[in-house]
């Protein structure tokens, strides 16, 4: 009976715990480390440390500037018996992207990375020991930086040891957090499946190229040539079947020519240069200058043309019969129309190169040439369609000028990247928005006929397509205006400089660096200002005590100063009126920063019963608390609890669904009221 009673009680407490536990809560362990040595000669060795990373996760590089995520680092135990040769190298080269959340370039590895450190022995040694610190993220969560002690054996042959599961488990809750790079790019960004991200990026490049090709089709240098080209296929070929065949060959030739151009760009720059282009300030500055030149060209200041001798030479070769004649005929089209297509092609190539994919230029040109070749081929197959085509006229120049405005606007994105990279602090969010508002505003006035350029014909009336397009551009211009006062402008936030660069911000949605410094200096000073004007406690016990005095439940926010996904939740979910109201009125917010490196006083330091590690900082304390009490070590993580810290409902992790977060807060309040 006693055994049955014990079993029943165990099941009861297990079920009670399961009611309020997060089904996704777990201790993540996505990196396995192994160690070996490589003998070079009797005195010199390479210490080799290999990290195997689970699919979907990424490990931060060593080479990250201060102020960003905690980089991977190695500390070798000093000894008079050896000296280090150079610094730790890492292979393969890390993926890099600009992260607006950190305002800097971030580098990381996926799948596997090998670190090497050269040493020179002064006296014989059996092994070298040390400590490594690392941090991993995926697209939903990041883990606190973890410290692992290692020992690398030395010998006459390469020796290898692999860390055990228990060693990794012991290191779970070591230090601070960082989150995914979204990259970036926004920039750039990281992913739980980098191969699918790459494929998605190539599809985006193809689509951009296809749209660019459609725009080029309606340019003054190409559109009027369609009837003449189709006439050649239908009349000079002798038969309809032969004309269709010639048109198909002509279309394929156009595709081959432009794809070859994309491949040539890759060969000229090389794959490594293309991978670095997205994060290179020099490349971004060149891209800015190129797009400004292209834009001014489309506005009519000058034309970008190729040497006439080259055009004439290709035209002569187009007189040949058979496939080669059709190929050079397509080549002639590409050369003759370069004054119109050149800036579009240049813009597409800039965009493809800036995304860092070595296939990008070729894929972009495949999309561009497909959109250009398909109409020529279809009109040759169905010549009766020519009767339905709008006649050439001034509207073609309107298309060209419109693309000029667009290219000038896009150019400033690349200048913004350079400003951020060099920390000039000149081209901030306010200035960027002012330029875009002016450019798009002028574009709208141009479409409405209120602004004319020297080569424009007089507009007697507005066509419906022109009117609707002008309304769209004008609406977009008005949409950007509140951004001058700090409105988030979520629809274009990926294109804008970080919100933290805003000089005049009435919608501040991020904790300022000053608040961070203040928090570290006054770690137990009570309430602090959190995002959106919320008050938050940065100490768990103080937060619970205050909640008891005001008789409210607590929302425990496990977060980090460098947690990108935490910032995403605060920027995308917390500003919702209902969410913000409940956070202000119904809860006491306790924000526990697991990457706070403020050292604990000597009497506060302890050895974790959960991980066995020494807890020396505030961040380590909250990280250990989260892992031991809630069984997870990823952030952001939200727990609703009563005054004693008892969990009321299942905790929540990263989820940008606003309705889900509303229900989460509502359910927590209901559970608290019932218990009360």
Question: Stretch 195-207: mean pLDDT, rounded?
Answer: 64
Question: Stretch 306-326: mean pLDDT, rounded?
Answer: 64
Vertex 571: Cα angle to 570 and 577 (nearest 5): 85
CA-wise closest residue to 487 among 409, 411, 575, 574: 575
Per-residue pLDDT at 185 = 30
pTM across the whole model: 0.46
Q: In which band, very low, low, confident or very high, does the pLDDT at 473 lie, cut at 50, 70 and 90?
A: very high
Q: In which band, very low, low, confident or very high, does the pLDDT at 651 lie, cut at 50, 70 and 90?
A: very high
Res. 196: pLDDT tops 60? no
Cα–Cα distance for residue pair 313/317, rounded to 1 Å: 7
Q: Which residues contact 51 (CB under 8 A, 6 or more apart)?
A: 31, 32, 33, 59, 109, 112, 113, 114, 115, 134
Cα four-point dihedral sign 558, 561, 565, 567: positive
Indicate the CATH number for domain 31-187: 2.60.40.1250
The residue extents of the domains of the chain are 31-187, 197-392, 395-501, 513-675
Vertex 423: Cα angle to 417 and 429 (nearest 5): 60
Three-state SS string over 433-470 comes to HHHHHHHHHHHHHHHCCCCCCCCCCCCCCCCHHHHHHH
Q: In which band, very low, low, confident or very high, does the pLDDT at 506 lie, cut at 50, 70 and 90?
A: confident
Per-residue pLDDT at 639 = 95
Instruction: Give the model confidence (pLDDT) of 112-121 as tens digits.
Output: 999 999 999 9
Res. 524: pLDDT tops 50? no
Q: Do 641 and 11 touch, CB atoms closer than 8 A?
A: no
Q: Within 13 Å, how many C-alpha atoms sit on residue 88's CB side?
A: 18
Share of the chain above pLDDT 90, in %: 21
Sheet containing 127-134: which strands, arranged edge to edge?
73-76, 127-134, 146-153
Looking at the chain, the number of H-run helices and the number of E-run strands are: 20, 20
Res. 508: pLDDT tops 60? no
Helix (H, G, I), strand (E, B) or coil at 216: helix
Res. 197: pLDDT tops 50? no
Instruction: Give the model confidence (pLDDT) of 320-369 as tens digits.
Output: 666 777 777 777 777 767 766 777 777 777 666 655 556 778 888 888 88
Per-residue pLDDT at 50 = 94
Structural tokens at position 116: 């090497």
Helix (H, G, I), strand (E, B) or coil at 641: strand
Can you spell out the DSSP letters for 482-510? GGGGT---GGGTTTSPPGGG-SS-SS--S
Q: In which band, very low, low, confident or very high, does the pLDDT at 179 lie, cut at 50, 70 and 90?
A: very low
Q: Do 639 and 544 touch, CB atoms closer than 8 A?
A: no
Can you spell out the DSSP letters for 518-569? HHHHTTTSSEEE-GGG-EEESSHHHHHHHHHHHT--EEEEEE-TT-HHHHHH
Instruction: Give the model confidence (pLDDT) of 76-86 as tens digits.
Output: 988 888 999 98
Res. 461: pLDDT tops 90? no
Mean pLDDT of the chain: 76
Q: CATH number for the 513-675 domain, one of 2.60.120.260, 1.10.10.10, 3.40.50.1820, 3.40.30.10?
A: 3.40.30.10
What residues pair up with 399 in beta bridges, in sequence order? none
Cα–Cα distance for residue pair 410/211, rounded to 1 Å: 15
Q: In which band, very low, low, confident or very high, does the pLDDT at 13 lie, cut at 50, 70 and 90?
A: very low
Question: Stretch 440-447: mean pLDDT, rounded?
Answer: 93
Q: In which band, very low, low, confident or very high, does the pLDDT at 526 lie, cut at 50, 70 and 90?
A: low
Question: Stretch 25-38: mean pLDDT, rounded?
Answer: 84
Res. 18: pLDDT tops 60? no
Q: Do 99 and 39 touch, CB atoms closer than 8 A?
A: no
Res. 464: pLDDT tops 50? yes
């Amino acid at each position: 009976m006693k055994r049955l009673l014990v079993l029943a009680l165990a099941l009861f407490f297990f079920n009670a715990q399961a009611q309020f536990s997060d089904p996704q809560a777990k201790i993540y362990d996505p990196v396995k480390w192994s160690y070996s040595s490589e003998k070079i000669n009797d005195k010199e060795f390479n210490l080799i440390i290999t990290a195997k990373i689970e699919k979907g996760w990424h490990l931060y590089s060593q080479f990250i500037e201060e102020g960003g995520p905690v980089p991977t680092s190695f500390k070798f135990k000093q000894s008079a018996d050896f000296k280090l040769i150079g610094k730790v190298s890492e292979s393969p080269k890390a993926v890099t992207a600009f992260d607006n959340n950190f305002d800097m370039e971030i580098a990381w590895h996926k799948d596997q990375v090998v670190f090497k450190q050269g040493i020179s022995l002064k006296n014989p040694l059996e092994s070298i020991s040390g400590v490594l610190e690392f941090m991993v993220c995926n697209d939903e969560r990041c883990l606190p930086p973890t410290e692992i002690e290692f020992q690398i054996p030395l010998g006459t042959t390469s020796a290898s040891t692999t860390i055990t599961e228990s060693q990794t488990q012991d290191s779970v809750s070591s230090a601070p957090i960082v989150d995914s790079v979204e990259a970036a790019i926004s920039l750039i960004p990281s992913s739980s499946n980098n191969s699918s991200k790459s494929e998605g990026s190539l599809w985006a490049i193809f689509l951009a190229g296809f749209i660019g090709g459609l725009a080029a089709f309606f340019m003054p240098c190409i559109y009027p040539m369609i009837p003449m080209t189709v006439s050649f296929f239908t009349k000079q070929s002798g038969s309809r079947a032969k004309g269709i065949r010639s048109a198909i060959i002509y279309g394929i030739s156009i595709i081959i020519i432009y794809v070859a151009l994309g491949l040539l760009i890759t060969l000229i720059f090389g794959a490594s240069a293309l991978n670095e282009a997205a994060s290179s300030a020099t490349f971004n500055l060149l891209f800015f200058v190129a797009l400004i030149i292209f834009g001014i060209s489309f506005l009519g200041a000058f034309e970008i043309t190729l040497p006439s001798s080259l055009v004439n030479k290709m035209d002569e070769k187009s007189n040949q019969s058979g496939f080669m004649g059709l190929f050079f005929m397509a080549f002639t089209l590409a050369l003759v129309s370069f004054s119109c297509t050149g800036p579009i092609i240049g813009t597409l190539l800039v965009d493809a190169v800036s995304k860092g994919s070595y296939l990008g230029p070729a894929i972009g040109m495949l999309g561009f040439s497909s959109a250009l070749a398909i109409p020529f081929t279809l009109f040759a197959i169905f010549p009766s369609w020519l009767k339905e085509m709008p006649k050439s006229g001034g509207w073609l120049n309107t298309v060209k000028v419109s693309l000029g405005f667009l290219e000038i606007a896009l150019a400033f994105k690349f200048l913004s990247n350079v400003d951020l990279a060099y920390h000039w602090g000149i081209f901030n969010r306010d200035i960027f928005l002012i330029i875009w508002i002016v450019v798009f505003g002028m574009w709208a006035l141009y479409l409405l006929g209120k602004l004319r350029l020297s080569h424009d014909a007089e507009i007697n009336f507005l066509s419906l397509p022109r009117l609707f397009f002008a309304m769209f551009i004008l609406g977009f211009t008005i949409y950007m205006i509140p951004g001058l006062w700090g409105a988030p402008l979520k629809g274009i936030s990926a294109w804008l400089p970080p919100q933290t660069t805003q000089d005049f911000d009435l919608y501040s949605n991020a904790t300022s660096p000053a608040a961070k410094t203040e928090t570290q200096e006054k770690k137990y000073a009570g309430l602090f200002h959190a995002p959106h004007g919320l008050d938050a406690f940065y100490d768990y016990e103080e937060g619970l005590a205050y909640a008891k005095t005001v008789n409210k439940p607590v929302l425990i926010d496990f977060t980090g100063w460098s947690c990108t996904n935490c910032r995403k939740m605060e920027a995308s979910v917390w500003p919702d009126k209902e969410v913000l109201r409940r956070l202000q009125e119904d809860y006491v917010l306790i924000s526990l920063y697991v990457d706070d490196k403020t050292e604990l006083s000597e009497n506060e330091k302890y050895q974790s019963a959960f991980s066995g590690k020494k807890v020396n900082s505030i961040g380590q304390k909250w990280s250990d608390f989260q892992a031991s009490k809630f069984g997870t070590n990823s952030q952001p993580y939200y727990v609703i609890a009563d005054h004693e810290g008892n969990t009321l409902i299942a905790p929540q992790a990263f989820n940008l669904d606003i309705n889900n977060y509303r229900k989460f807060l509502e359910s927590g309040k209901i559970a608290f009221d019932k218990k009360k």
